[in-house]
Structure 1
Amino acid sequence: MTDAAALAARVREGELRLHELDDHADPDVAAAARRHLVESETDASLDAVGNYGFPAAAAEPNVENMIGAVQVPLGVAGPVAVDGGAADGEAFLPLATTEGALLASVNRGCSVLNAAGGATARIIKSGMTRAPVFRVADVVEAEALVEWVRDNVDRLRAAAAETTNHGELLDVTPYVVGNSVYLRFRYDTKDAMGMNMATIATEAACDVVEAETEASLVALSGNLCTDKKPAAINAVEGRGRSVTADVTVPREVVEDRLHTTPEAIAELNTRKNLIGSAKAGSLGFNAHVANVVAAMFLATGQDEAQVVEGANAITTAEVRRAEASAGSDGDLYVSVSLSSLEVGTVGGGTKLPTQAEALDVLGIRGGGDPPGSNADAFAEYIAAGALAGELSLLSALASQHLSSAHAELGR
């Protein structure tokens, strides 16, 4: 009996638990034992799952009870030219997806961006948030807590700073609902996505609040952060990076490359992305920003659940005409504004071998110089990719080519 089979038998007999296998074997053998157990208890064959290309030890910080790896096809779009505050020059965009035609669509958008001179992108606001909820007796105590926080931000900042060498508390915004007080802490987390950093730092700050006021901490997260859920506060106040990318595409490029007109795209965007989304009560006023965000998140080791916030975006489109002209000779201006894009180039899944290689494709793995510049550039590249995707899909819809394109690609 192999070591893996023997370990699986011990789990089956109740002598060991799945999570205890790592204490009795190296990570790869432990993973093999779990596969053996799952295969014996189900009708599944896990040969493909067990054929992964990195040491299981590399994934120990990222997953428990590992049995192998799920491989998602990885492609590249571009290169695309990006003039950003941190990103500069041409880059291939790594996208991991199982959705046929997505790469082709984004790639077409990238070629149009290049024909227009490239995309421009800027980080407008930055800061990871954590919002604990406190219980107070009544509105009088709530007001007292709000005033105390406003007068003692420096003390809270000092307490938070003791937990991290990289993060910095930027501000604390209070919100009162009856006898519940929410304090939305916002941090500069440099090149890390920073959720764990913000949580640990906020816990230290909460200790000060409880020691100095009448408030009692109910939970370190009161859902006003807001993490991994659709939320208007993220659309308005931002979370992670708020980034905008835009481009002005000459009319002849729209007509020759996209087979439609600036007027058709602008009207479609208004009726679909703006009015249609408003009627639906959507928090995302865009065509498919989530597609690019999700594909680049999977490729580069981001927290995939935060695609929820990353897709909180607004796409705009308008015809740009010279002031003296009232005719149909204008160019097409398109922008995408992502309000809460939570990304990092250090920590988490970015250390996994294949994800690290995808970050290398962009030239942004690890900490930037200055700190935070790599994550800023990453956000700008994602925004440019989202812009390419929006431009391509809107054009396909405006020209009535969407279904034919999928049919041609056999999707």
Structure 2
Amino acid sequence: MTDDPDADADALVRRVRDGDLRLHELEDHADADAAATARRRIVESDTGVDLDAVGAYGFPADRADANIENMIGAAQVPMGVAGPVTIHGGAVDGERYLPMATTEGALLASVNRGCSVVDAAGGATARVTKSGMTRAPVFRVGDVAEAEALVEWVRENEDRLREAAEATTSHGELTDVTPYVVGDSVFLRFRYDTKDAMGMNMATIATRAAAEAVEESTTASLVALSGNLCTDKKPAAINAVEGRGRSVTADVVIPRDVVEERLHTTPEAIAEVNTRKNHVGSAKAGSLGFNAHVANVVAAMFLATGQDAAQVVEGSNAITTAEAREEGLYVSVSLASLEVGTVGGGTKLPTQGEGLDLLGVAGGGDPPGANADALAECIAVGALAGELSLLAALGSRHLSSAHESLGR
């Protein structure tokens, strides 16, 4: 290729039109930016759509090699900050701006209001209470007697499974294996400590090695490396109960005068809204999440920090509590399955890396896992602020007027 990116892109377009190359092969014959430009021009020509904005991305395309195939550009989402807010966490302590990328007007304003109220109360406390990424293969056995034998073998050979799994990674550690039997199907739910990585790929590769050890020594036959009992990227009660990724809780006590002066309502009103809306309403709906809008904050901070956006479905599996006390209002948010990492995946992209830098959690932590714990605590406090603000808006009947005043 030449030193002229436009000429290189034109040459690639001609080769695709001549049938010499396919769209997914362009990076093998030019640099990533020329390949993206050529692919974009082909798509524009074929569809009649102008993709100038999509093509105006601000980082070298090869930075996204591990994150995207058939790249034509980038989708840019507005990014703002809420805070700063004071966090008293197990892994993070002090003031933090919370980076959030979203297209929903009024979301940042609402979370920012919640952050200011949390700060007026002296900050929020946050702790990661459980950690572990799971993968659950499903095996076929002859009958329930063979299922029982497999379960017994797993219990007696966990060290062997651990050795096989951990041989595939220099960081991950197998912490436990839990069997589940359904007729002639046996599910083994492997849980790993993946340190600062979100760890889904790590867990999958390690589990494949462990599954081979199972097949070598038992009558079981592997049907699928993921049997959906993991459970990844789907609503699931097992994640609400057992957790997946990080289980993290944040809470705060807001003095009564702060509630009345800053939120224009009372602790009692907010507690009642939470009970009737988040608990009774969610139960009647059969919801797995008992909260107001935790997914809003999880999604916005996931996009801003390079997390797997599809895992918002598990990240929003949260319970909000609110209690009127003599001294004021107690509010907590417990996220059961927040799957986050500060290394790997989208965290290596430039803008997402800057989002992690804002929080002071980019890269591997010391000790390992500390940065991912800190990220989880920051997201939990952001969710807490968002819940507090929305519950107060509902309690004061200001929700619609707030959207109207912001023109959203």
Same fold at TM > 0.5: yes
Q: Secondary structure at the match of 1:78?
A: strand
Give the equivalent residue in structure 2 for 1:326: none
Q: Distance in 1 between matches of 2:43 and 2:362?
A: 36
Q: For 1:27-83, what per-residue CA distance to the aligned partner results, in whole angstroms no more than 9, with x for missing partners?
A: 000000001000001121111111111000100000000000111000000000000
Q: Distance in 2 between matches of 1:43 and 1:284?
A: 43
Give the equivalent residue in structure 1 for 2:322: 317
Structure 1 runs, 4 residues or longer, greater than 4 Å off: none
Match 1:340 to one of 337, 340, 350: 337
Displacement of 1:198 after TM fit?
0.3
Q: Secondary structure at the match of 1:90?
A: strand
Displacement of 1:8 after TM fit?
1.7
Displacement of 1:12 after TM fit?
2.8
Q: For 1:279-302, what per-residue CA distance to the aligned partner results, in whole angstroms no more than 9, with x for missing partners?
A: 000011000000000000000100
Structure 1 unmatched runs, 5+: 322-329
Percent identity (aligned): 80
Pair 1:353 & 2:343 matched: no
Give the equivalent residue in structure 2 for 1:18: 23
Number of matched residues? 403
Q: Distance in 2 between matches of 1:409 and 1:211?
A: 63
Give the equivalent residue in structure 2 for 1:115: 120
Q: Distance in 1 between matches of 2:20 and 2:166?
A: 45
Displacement of 1:161 after TM fit?
1.0
Give the equivalent residue in structure 2 for 1:5: 10
Q: Distance in 2 between matches of 1:50 and 1:6?
A: 18
Displacement of 1:306 after TM fit?
0.2
Q: Which moved more, 1:135-144 or 1:13-22?
A: 13-22
Q: Secondary structure at the match of 2:335?
A: strand
Q: Distance in 1 between matches of 2:170 and 2:8?
A: 43
Give the equivalent residue in structure 1 for 2:199: 194
Pair 1:384 & 2:392 matched: no
Structure 2 unmatched runs, 5+: 1-5
Q: Distance in 2 between matches of 1:206 and 1:115?
A: 52
Q: Distance in 2 between matches of 1:400 and 1:355?
A: 36
Pair 1:185 & 2:190 matched: yes
Which residue identity is paired with 2:238? I
Q: Secondary structure at the match of 2:52?
A: coil
Q: Secondary structure at the match of 1:48?
A: helix
Q: Distance in 2 between matches of 1:81 and 1:295?
A: 19
Give the equivalent residue in structure 2 for 1:280: 285
Q: Distance in 2 between matches of 1:277 and 1:15?
A: 56
Q: Distance in 1 between matches of 2:367 and 2:106?
A: 37
Match 2:224 to one of 219, 224, 228: 219
Give the equivalent residue in structure 1 for 2:178: 173
Which residue identity is paired with 1:394? L
Q: Distance in 1 between matches of 2:57 and 2:36?
A: 11
Displacement of 1:24 after TM fit?
1.1
After TM superposition, the structure 1 = structure 2 runs for residues 18-167 of structure 1, keeping only pairs within 5 Å, are 18-167=23-172
Displacement of 1:2 after TM fit?
3.3
Q: Distance in 2 between matches of 1:12 and 1:124?
A: 56
Root-mean-square deviation (Å): 0.8
Displacement of 1:10 after TM fit?
2.2
Q: Distance in 2 between matches of 1:206 and 1:160?
A: 9
Pair 1:206 & 2:211 matched: yes
Q: Distance in 2 between matches of 1:71 and 1:64?
A: 17
Pair 1:293 & 2:290 matched: no
Which residue identity is paired with 2:140? R
Match 2:273 to one of 251, 268, 271: 268
Give the equivalent residue in structure 2 for 1:325: none
Which residue identity is paired with 2:241? V
Q: Distance in 2 between matches of 1:309 and 1:61?
A: 24
Displacement of 1:9 after TM fit?
2.9
Q: For 1:352-399, what per-residue CA distance to the aligned partner results, in whole angstroms no more than 9, with x for missing partners?
A: 011101100000000000000000000000000000000000000110
Q: For 1:297-328, what per-residue CA distance to the aligned partner results, in whole angstroms no more than 9, with x for missing partners?
A: 0001000000000000000001112xxxxxxx
Which residue identity is paired with 1:171? D
Q: Distance in 2 between matches of 1:3 and 1:211?
A: 52
Q: Which moved more, 1:172-181 or 1:17-26?
A: 17-26
Q: Distance in 1 between matches of 2:354 and 2:267?
A: 38
Displacement of 1:216 after TM fit?
0.3
